[in-house]
Structure 1
């Protein structure tokens, strides 16, 4: 399990979320977001796949009961994120974004908030448990929930 890669992806997703927020800051001026949206989609889907195939299954094999339980709860809470994001991408074509810019901005803010909440939960809840289980050093814990 490469926690450094997981953290690097979290950092990259957070940076892209900040770029998205800048791009949709003004609901009156539509922006062309095709490249940013697809770059974000590739990054997010790769990250979710890493978590689903490697990170969470690895958490379920750990002897630390609280870590297993918290990981299982977070995994089930967040399970629909990939399908929800795919539906969001399908709903918003470039033409529709241009026509319904304000609605796109609002829905995008909600979607980004959900993703950021997921990252913060993982870091705030799982990282301290990974430390307690002896799997990471305390210097790796960046957020407190």
Structure 2
């Protein structure tokens, strides 16, 4: 991994922030009742905002560069990661739509189990990106702009925000 790359350094710092938010959320999940002071919704929204800032940068800086790599094995590895990340993001979207403030209060036990599973998947993906994907950037070419089929991350943010009652 090239820590001198400022964009990669930003992505790694955001992984740290996401892990911190996941730990905060995990601490809330240890309680027998959901917090009543709004901290759960605030933490969920902070995590969503950070992820939706992080993912477009990762798309442009990591995936676009690895798509342009001359080694087909690197491109295949990147494609596998993209599939896994899209599946995880789909699960995250589903989780956010399923677990509104009302459904969290109505089924705290179910929310805790679903969220623990999602957080484990999220931290596992970040661990894999850091150990297996990001090092492939060391000899990847530069790539400019968005992919022609780039996702509308801003549109997703509005949907997640509405699901959280914001």
Scaled to the shorter chain, the TM-score interval is 0.7 to 0.9
Question: How big is the shift at 1:77?
Answer: 2.0
Which residue number in structure 2 is paired with residue 31 of structure 1? 35
Gaps of 5+ in 2: 142-166
Greater RCO structure (CA 8 Å; 6+ sep)? 2
Query: What is the aligned counterpart of 2:22 among 7, 17, 35?
Result: 17
Q: CA deviation at 1:64?
A: 4.2
Indicate whether 1:50 and 2:57 are aligned.
Answer: yes
- RMSD, aligned CA: 2.1
Secondary structure of the 1:80 match is: helix
TM-score by length of 2: 0.71
SS of corresponding position for 1:79: helix
- Does 1:111 pair with 2:124? no
Q: Give 2:88's match in structure 1, choosing from 72, 81, 88.
A: 81
- Given the superposition, is the C-alpha separation of residues 94 and 36 from structure 1 closer, same or farther in structure 2, using an over 3 Å criterion? same
Structure 1, unaligned runs of 5 or more: 136-145
1:67 deviation in Å? 3.0
TM-score by length of 1: 0.80
